[in-house]
Amino acid sequence: MTVSSPPDFWPSSAYATLQRDARGWLIPTDDYLRRFLARPELALVDESCGAETALHGALTTNPRHTVTDATLDALADADVRANYVLFLRFRDALLAAGTIEAYYLRLMRSGAVDVPPVFVALLVQACTRNVLDACTDALQARAAELLFRAQRVYVQDGQVLSGDQTVLDLLNETGGLGEMGRLLAQSNAPLRAVNLEVLSDANATRYWQSADRHNFLLDLTHAVSNDLSHGLVLTMTRARSGLTALARVLEQWVAHFMGVQVRIQPEAKIEDANWRWHIGLDVESSALLNDLYEDRPVESARMQNIVSLFRLTFDNPLDMRADVAGKPVYLALSMNADKLVRLKPQNLLLNLPLHRAN
């Protein structure tokens, strides 16, 4: 599943337009900012007024162009005006932070995310691409997509499979036939079956060739299933599972941002009388682990939504807060009632019990 040299993948991340500082963090460039101007939220349309056309042209020529309130007030469409206000606030804060990573941490630590979710996802994609710059393992690259793209989880022939939500929903709507498929579906005409491939050693080369299409399924299956009704119990994972690949990505994510080395392993269960620290990797897991830690009753349906548990340990216990030094940190990843996984990678950065501020 590996290749001999790091391939260029996820061109939509605009990673090729970015520069690195001495720390290895990404410096935003004019070309990177132009990618946002080309997005549908800001791109010109036939109905664009003269003021919008002029503003878009000025920013495309110089993405750092100073925009006055009078220029914004001249925009005829209120929605367009609001979009530019959001973009300019985002641009100014990003440039002030100096790097994408610094801006992302500052934004998440603020507790007030005031930019569109799609902008946050693009930032995370660029950072993840930076983290995986030397990656030659397609399984890790596919697992890393969980950090910035929602996944739909389902069980097929005993396998727990994760697929890109946007891709799967579009295929379910159109049968893979685009707009024609949508029209056929609306008329109740039969659509041809569309089967996505599960990523494996055999087809890994094709992942690198089409990584931006997000059209491979990731196998998140545990080797053997255990009943969860009596507690937090799952089975051990295979060495080449998608869960192990995700763990490796999260280790690199922490090292890149926090400068500390951790080890993360999928866990069969949490049986720890001295359980001291936990982090939910999504909204559902955060609430679930809090309830379990406080010994509050948890319905079996919520337990069944756990995709995986993980155990995180620090290579150097001195990197941890003194009151929990040497103790493991337990992680959980869950799907919601709609079988969607929305991993929040910032949770891992914000909630680690670090000895020092990073």
At 6, the pLDDT band (50, 70, 90 cuts) reads confident
**Higher model confidence: residue 193 or residue 260?**
260
Residue type for 304, please? Q
Q: What is the pLDDT of residues 108-144, one digit of tens each?
A: 999 899 999 999 999 999 999 999 999 999 999 999 9
Side-chain-side CA neighbours of residue 208 (13 Å)? 16
Please state at what angle helix 50-61 crosses helix 30-37, rounded to 10 degrees: 160
Q: What is the pLDDT of residues 218-234, one digit of tens each?
A: 999 875 445 554 455 55
For range 44-62, the mean pLDDT: 97
Task: State the pLDDT at residue 308.
Answer: 93
For range 54-78, the mean pLDDT: 98
pLDDT exceeds cutoff 80 at 83: yes
Mean pLDDT of the chain: 89
Task: State the pLDDT at residue 159.
Answer: 82
- Rounded to 5 degrees, what angle do the CA atoms 105, 110, 113 make? 90
- Residue 184 structure tokens: 């056929």
Mode of pairing for the β-strands spanning 197-198 and 216-219 = parallel
- pLDDT > 70: percent of the chain: 87
Compute the distance between CA of residue 334 and CA of residue 342 in angstroms, rounded to an integer. 8
Strand partners, 306: 334
pLDDT exceeds cutoff 80 at 145: yes
Task: State the pLDDT at residue 290.
Answer: 95
pLDDT exceeds cutoff 60 at 150: yes
Q: Tell me the domain boundaries of the chain.
A: 12-131, 138-350
At 184, the pLDDT band (50, 70, 90 cuts) reads very low
Tokens 């469409």 belong to residue = 77
Task: State the pLDDT at residue 271.
Answer: 86
- Residue 309 structure tokens: 């548990």
Tokens 């937090």 belong to residue = 232
- pLDDT > 90: percent of the chain: 74
pLDDT exceeds cutoff 80 at 238: no
pLDDT exceeds cutoff 50 at 189: no
Q: What is the pLDDT of residues 282-327, one digit of tens each?
A: 999 999 999 999 989 989 889 989 999 999 999 999 999 999 999 9
Written in H, E and C, the secondary structure of the chain is CECCCCCCCCHHHCHHHCEECCCCCEECCHHHHHHHHCCCCCCCCCCCCHHHHHHHHHHHHCCCCCCCHHHHHCCCCHHHHHHHHHHHHHHHHHHHHCCHHHHHHHHHHHCCCCCCHHHHHHHHHHHHHHHCCCCCEHHHHHHHHHHCCCEEEEEECCEEEEEEHHHHHHHHHHCCCHHHHHHHHHCCCCCCCCCCEECCHHHHHHHHHCHHHCCEEEECCCCCCCCCCCCCECCCCCCCCHHHHHHHHHHHHHHHHHCCCEEEEEECECCCCCCCEEEECCHHHHHHHHHHHCCCCCCHHHHHCEEEEEEEEECCHHHECHHHCCCCEEEEEECCCCCEECCCHHHHHHCCCECCCC
- Residue 333 structure tokens: 């990843």
Compute the distance between CA of residue 277 and CA of residue 35 in angstroms, rounded to an integer. 40
**Higher model confidence: residue 190 or residue 39?**
39
Q: In this structure, how many other beta carbons lie within 10 angstroms of the beta carbon of residue 60?
A: 16
Task: State the pLDDT at residue 193.
Answer: 45
Compute the distance between CA of residue 165 and CA of residue 150 in angstroms, rounded to an integer. 6
Task: State the pLDDT at residue 7.
Answer: 82
**Higher model confidence: residue 177 or residue 175?**
175
Task: State the pLDDT at residue 4.
Answer: 66
Indicate whether this model's pTM tops 0.75: yes
pLDDT exceeds cutoff 70 at 61: yes
Q: What is the pLDDT of residues 243-286, one digit of tens each?
A: 999 999 999 999 999 999 999 999 878 888 889 999 999 999 99
Task: State the pLDDT at residue 174.
Answer: 59
Task: State the pLDDT at residue 207.
Answer: 95
Task: State the pLDDT at residue 222.
Answer: 75
**Higher model confidence: residue 345 or residue 300?**
345
Compute the distance between CA of residue 113 and CA of residue 328 in angstroms, rounded to an integer. 30
pLDDT exceeds cutoff 70 at 329: yes
Supply φ then ψ for residue 317, to 5 degrees.
-60, -20
Task: State the pLDDT at residue 203.
Answer: 93
